[in-house]
Structure 1
Amino acid sequence: MNTAPAFPATRTSFVNDDFFGHQHTATSALPDPQPMVENLARSVMEILAGCRDLEQISRWVTDDVYRNLLQRVHISRRARAVKKQPSVLPTFGLGRTIITHPVDGVIESVVIVHGKARTRSIAIRLEGMDGRWRATAIHVL
């Protein structure tokens, strides 16, 4: 006796990331990115100085960015421990913020940070995911 399969051979599978993964959001559906870029830059400086917990920005960054920042936090903490320096709230001012729009739903920005000893720049890439901005890259230079 010949039995037919329970499911047709052409049945599609819904285990692909296009359906269940992060959904792209257009720039027009998202708020102005400048406040978020500046707040992220300020937060990253405080996190690296040991005065703010990395968990506070975990909602706004991707897993890769979180892991990279976590490595930098450990390196900064060890450097402070070797020098026997406490965590001190850094004093700095935000300079110019440059924002570009390479494609819809993507923002690339640079924030200039003026500190006492030196001036740094923080490059941040935001992508619209699931109706909000998320940082997919943060580089402190």
Structure 2
Amino acid sequence: MAMTPAGSARVFRVPGGAVELSEFFAPQRTSSTALPEPEPFLRNITRGVLEVLAGVREVDQLARWLTEEPYRKLVTRSNLAARARSARGVPAMRPVHAILSVHHSSPADGVVESVVIVQGPARTRAVALRLEGMDGRWRATSLALL
């Protein structure tokens, strides 16, 4: 083990080159062959997001399946939805949605881009997700509710 010129990162000498210590503890990419079929995950994460926005699920319950950026966006959006419900005096109620279709493709190994079409009582919406295989499981790295 050695110190870099800046003295901040530790570097291991391994066959084929040096590796920084942070690389061992950073999320490790996972190949599609080592991951489960993405469709059940896409359906479940979509239901979870809709429940968070309806106020019947805590966003922390989805934290393990989201990377930092989509997690923060979901926290912000759920807080806005909670304020809107409070201003109108509407209680949080479990949403009734039907998943009409799930479309997904894989632009690269360990990556899935998808659109989930969801029909609610008032309107039909689309949820766009990008999943990446990290540490042996799917994680949503991008999330948009349209």
TM-score in terms of structure 2 length: 0.85
Over 3 Å counting, the alpha-carbon distance change for 1:13 and 1:80 in structure 2 is: same
The whole-number CA distance in structure 2 between the counterparts of 1:48 and 1:122 is 13
Work out which of the two has the higher radius of gyration on C-alpha atoms and give 1 or 2.
1
Equivalent residue for 1:91?
Answer: 96
Q: State the 1:22 CA deviation.
A: 1.0
Equivalent residue for 2:137?
Answer: 132
RMSD of the alignment, in Å? 1.9
Which stretches in structure 1 are left out of the alignment for 5+ residues? Answer: 1-6
Higher relative contact order (CA 8 A, sep 6+): 1
* Structure 1 counterpart SS, 2:77: helix
Runs of 4+ in 1 over 2 A off after TM superposition: 7-10, 12-20
2:17 is the counterpart of 1:20: no
Equivalent residue for 2:14?
Answer: none
Q: By percentage of residues, which structure has more strand?
A: 2
Q: State the 1:19 CA deviation.
A: 3.5
Over 3 Å counting, the alpha-carbon distance change for 1:129 and 1:9 in structure 2 is: closer
The whole-number CA distance in structure 2 between the counterparts of 1:21 and 1:109 is 25
* Structure 1 counterpart SS, 2:50: helix
TM-score in terms of structure 1 length: 0.88
Which stretches in structure 2 are left out of the alignment for 5+ residues? Answer: 12-19
Q: State the 1:125 CA deviation.
A: 0.7
Identity in percent: 44
Over 3 Å counting, the alpha-carbon distance change for 1:75 and 1:9 in structure 2 is: closer
2:66 is the counterpart of 1:61: yes
Q: What pairs with 1:5-16 in structure 2 (closer than 5 Å)?
A: 13-14=10-11, 15=20
Question: How many residues matched?
Answer: 134
